[in-house]
Structure 1
């Protein structure tokens, strides 16, 4: 009864990636407890697969990683069904959603424990305590319910990442062929996913990472990252990398060292960064990064309005002027900047909310004017429960509240909320959301994302011709002709579907 089943709920229709978070937990118990992986992305009937293990009577523990959105939608009914049919099992959730919404999760009655942050120590220690019938109150990074009260244990210091055991890729391959996880993307024919660091040293009040890591960041050394990547390249033929770090480029020294190591491997790669951090990188560093295969970098631009950046508690030194200047700077290095913007932050009046949206639309067009290759990703502001932040206080004061029941999160409206497309916030009116979405449609028509590899030159030219007049004339209402083509061609939006 002490075997462990680790479940990765379905998160992608296609091009799913190596389930790194689940593998981290598997590595933490490797050699001590038997474990299996069930990947919802690779199963047509994940419940039946899970039950095939549980029916043996050998599995007493289930670990689910749960991100908001599609994973949550699948995790809730599966967890409920499993707990009803196999009440002796211990259900443990990890990931951003349970850490940010512990009350709804634990009050559901079918989740027993939450791993609040990294589980490299917390998960195996919890299993040890439960197996030995010992107290678990002093295990760090736990949230649980006892005597009708929800208890959070203290946070653990981030571990040295090089000291962690290697991920068990080969054993994962006994459950699912690793080839399934290496998809064709804009970056390459066999693209792998990898985490080289955890956390972020900043405290943006709109970011779900902040409450979990609390402005902390720890990274593997450049040599360790190179060693891991090269292993997957040599073993399974990976030719490109998506670095899923919250902030890959924190250290210029580490980034350049990795770039020099990976350069001979001829791999393309992508990662996430801050504009004000990378703007401090020397020209020589940026040249080396591009030479080593970095083709595109995701940046949280968020807003061109300095007052909004302050409201979002963006921190650092980022300004609207810098956002435009840096996009222009990257042209000389042939690196594509992928800028995300957050529209629809709280304001005192509807007129001020609308003014912010209009400002950002014009600002984005200015960025496109100086560097047309800049990829633009649009989000509507969705509140994150960052306790103590001024922005979250504003959110609560304006009447926003989360669902109290875990199952209420399964509604289509709240799933759209999780994907930051439909905010359900009192200060955003339907016509404002329509303007954001319509502008996005026109923008993507004039500048189809380079990451959609299914769009050929003819399709790109056709949709651009159809959209340019609207874009130049600021005519964004009712772009049905563009939406029709995008739907017919199954246009991909990177912020929802990845590369």
Structure 2
């Protein structure tokens, strides 16, 4: 390996609970493995990550600081740490990636302490950037890069699809040098040693509330079934994993790939979970769904979003998804011993407050219809937070309300923005406190009436008791002030928060 300036790859804090394997940083590490020397720092595993970063920078051996930045919790470390680096070590080149950086690139570049942004796929862009900087070449020749020139943000040509089989496999052994890799595997509903895995880029749809749409522009590319199987089998044989959460934005795009993967993984005794679209999976044959179940698929996360047909069109959901299909598919999936996990987004904008509340009430009743069709259906509830996708009907509605994102990067650290992109704290003008309370109180009652199977700490007795205590509220739609249920939630129930930590892991 040539002697080159070293790189810090930093994964900011995501969750205060069980740390998950830092796939984004590992993906970047794979792209420069054998070419550049790097150090991995996981903010989820350090009591004081800044102290570790500073100690490394003080050696004088490092020139680059690479940071992955997703919306929400990661900003709480990414912003102040990067700012400190630029102030105290002005010669360090700071590079951000992740979909917050790509979607909010203007405010990032105007901060003055972020030098470069990898815009979307970074497997080729990141190593190309390092080589270009080391050799003082032309930055404009690099795809998927954002940088500043003459006080103007420059975006180079963007590649939205890449042959994943041509990429280096993730260097798990390198991560193991910094943090014991087995410590990232935990007990979940799926198994005793669950890991994350990402097998594809993008999604072929253009939902106007989705943060990856501007990045991948309705393109999808996945690993072949053979490579996917070999990599999962490696994790099983080398580290003893027994279950996988496939955190792809859309794992089930290709029925052919899924069938091939199931045939390969069937005898490995590995259980798994993935994300899909309802209308895509509903086109899968019964034979395929049965094969998926036989090959270890236990649960599928599905974006239902809303039961309102007009709103499905307004959010550019695409495809053929409709309310009747959502109900029938939940029932259908139950025949194959696969749990459907439906996510709903409540609180979309409308012309009047009464219309907003009416849609909230309509979706609450629709959710109850889904539960009636298949009581095992898991329900995840989000409150709508804008992701402004140019050209969509929803984009125009949001602009008309006067909603604005923060104009300075540090403003994202303000308490009121802390949970915004996690759809926990919407700063949207059309949502009143009464509406938010209605959504949250319903969520409490719903989760009590139907405790999630993913809370593996709950005993059968606890499940029965909390379900019984919430029955009257649920049946009569009396959701107001469920203090008795919130008390039980505080001591018993740990509801699933997929946008923060995936399946409950201990």
Q: Does 1:482 align with 2:485?
A: yes
Of residues 128-137 and 330-339 in structure 1, the stretch that sits farther from structure 2 once superposed is 128-137
CA distance in 2: counterparts of 1:320 and 1:26, whole angstroms: 43
Matched residue, 2:361: 358
Matched residue, 2:25: 22
Q: Does 1:216 align with 2:219?
A: yes
Aligned length: 499
Q: Does 1:461 align with 2:464?
A: yes
Matched residue, 1:93: 96
> Cα deviations across residues 194-234 of structure 1 (Å, max 9, x unaligned)?
01101000000000010000000000000100100110110
CA distance in 2: counterparts of 1:293 and 1:493, whole angstroms: 21
Q: Following TM superposition, by how much is the alpha carbon of 1:75 offset from its aligned partner in structure 2, in angstroms? A: 0.9
The one of 295, 304, 319 equivalent to 2:307 is 304
CA distance in 2: counterparts of 1:210 and 1:497, whole angstroms: 22
* 8 Å Cα contact 1:15-1:184 kept in structure 2: no
SS of 2:140's equivalent? Answer: coil
The one of 254, 261, 281 equivalent to 2:284 is 281
CA distance in 2: counterparts of 1:75 and 1:460, whole angstroms: 39
The one of 398, 401, 425 equivalent to 1:398 is 401
* 8 Å Cα contact 1:451-1:494 kept in structure 2: no
CA distance in 1: counterparts of 2:280 and 2:448, whole angstroms: 31
SS of 1:70's equivalent? Answer: coil
SS of 2:418's equivalent? Answer: helix
> Cα deviations across residues 136-171 of structure 1 (Å, max 9, x unaligned)?
022111111221111111212411000001110111
CA distance in 2: counterparts of 1:15 and 1:223, whole angstroms: 30
Correspondences of 1:5-404 after superposition (within 5 Å): 5-404=8-407
* Contiguous gaps of at least 5 residues in structure 2: none
Q: Following TM superposition, by how much is the alpha carbon of 1:445 offset from its aligned partner in structure 2, in angstroms? A: 0.6
Q: Normalising by structure 2, what TM-score?
A: 0.97
* 8 Å Cα contact 2:160-2:216 kept in structure 1: no
* 8 Å Cα contact 2:458-2:493 kept in structure 1: no
* 8 Å Cα contact 1:100-1:385 kept in structure 2: no
> Cα deviations across residues 175-202 of structure 1 (Å, max 9, x unaligned)?
1111111111111110011011010000
* 8 Å Cα contact 1:27-1:165 kept in structure 2: yes
* 8 Å Cα contact 1:328-1:370 kept in structure 2: yes
* 8 Å Cα contact 2:95-2:118 kept in structure 1: yes
Q: Following TM superposition, by how much is the alpha carbon of 1:49 offset from its aligned partner in structure 2, in angstroms? A: 1.1
Q: Following TM superposition, by how much is the alpha carbon of 1:44 offset from its aligned partner in structure 2, in angstroms? A: 0.7
The one of 465, 477, 492 equivalent to 2:495 is 492
> Cα deviations across residues 376-421 of structure 1 (Å, max 9, x unaligned)?
0001111102122221121011111001111111122212211102
* Contiguous gaps of at least 5 residues in structure 1: none
SS of 1:137's equivalent? Answer: helix
Residues 157, 301 of structure 1: CA spacing in aligned structure 2 closer, same or farther, 3 A cutoff? closer
CA distance in 2: counterparts of 1:464 and 1:309, whole angstroms: 32
Q: Normalising by structure 1, what TM-score?
A: 0.99
CA distance in 2: counterparts of 1:297 and 1:360, whole angstroms: 21
SS of 1:41's equivalent? Answer: coil
* 8 Å Cα contact 2:165-2:223 kept in structure 1: yes
CA distance in 2: counterparts of 1:357 and 1:158, whole angstroms: 37
CA distance in 2: counterparts of 1:493 and 1:406, whole angstroms: 30
* 4+ runs deviating over 4 angstroms: none
CA distance in 2: counterparts of 1:83 and 1:455, whole angstroms: 47
Q: Following TM superposition, by how much is the alpha carbon of 1:298 offset from its aligned partner in structure 2, in angstroms? A: 0.2
Residues 136, 434 of structure 1: CA spacing in aligned structure 2 closer, same or farther, 3 A cutoff? same
CA distance in 2: counterparts of 1:433 and 1:381, whole angstroms: 10
Q: Following TM superposition, by how much is the alpha carbon of 1:490 offset from its aligned partner in structure 2, in angstroms? A: 5.0
Of residues 365-374 and 481-490 in structure 1, the stretch that sits farther from structure 2 once superposed is 481-490
CA distance in 1: counterparts of 2:414 and 2:381, whole angstroms: 22
CA distance in 2: counterparts of 1:280 and 1:344, whole angstroms: 29
